[in-house]
Amino acid sequence: MKLLILFLILIPSLSFASIPDYCKEETDGEEAYKFSSEIIEVFKSNDLSRLSEMTFTLYGNGNINYFDLSNKNITDVFNVEMVDDLVSRAKPICERFSYEGYNFGWGIWFEFLGLNDENCEMKMTPKIVALNEGVKEEFQISPENIIIDKENNNSSNCE
């Protein structure tokens, strides 16, 4: 019984419940902390599919969703050195860097975007908007092409 109680006490410390108090005071701070924690976890678990789902590239040259990522992993797309450095040193963030959004580091920027959900309702959704560093050359495209893709990337059945 004591072991069960100890386990139940420890569960919150292993989850997002340990969000620092200063993050709770920031606008969107808790959500930013959770999203940046998820970015770290995606790189640790080598989950390129999930990283792709989290990405809506608006600027920079790392528009990974422009390419077929099936049968690829994180280190097929990103430099191993960058991934290793991110996994070993990254910490969740909750404070905006500027009006451009949250600078996670390693060339990764994210922002809360107004996107339609499956019910065509506008929701503020955290998305990686730029992957500027560590993306291998064969997965880079010019910013001009990203702007064209941006216009077509949010197509949906919502009227």
Residue at 159 is within a domain: no
Q: How many independent structural domains does the chain possess?
A: 1
pTM greater than 0.85: no
Residue at 111 is within a domain: yes
Residue at 6 is within a domain: no
How far apart are alpha carbons 82 and 107 in whole angstroms?
Answer: 10
Domain encompassing residue 101: 23-150
Over residues 26-78, the pLDDT tens digits come to: 889 999 999 999 999 999 999 999 999 999 988 877 788 888 898 999 999 99
Residue 148 contacts by C-beta under 8 Å, 6 or more apart in sequence? none
Over residues 81-99, the pLDDT tens digits come to: 999 999 999 999 999 998 8
11-17, Cβ contacts within 8 angstroms, sequence gap of 24 or more = none
Inter-CA distances, 60 with 96, 129, 140, Å: 18, 8, 9
Residue at 9 is within a domain: no
Q: Assess contact for 36 and 92: CB atoms under 8 A.
A: yes
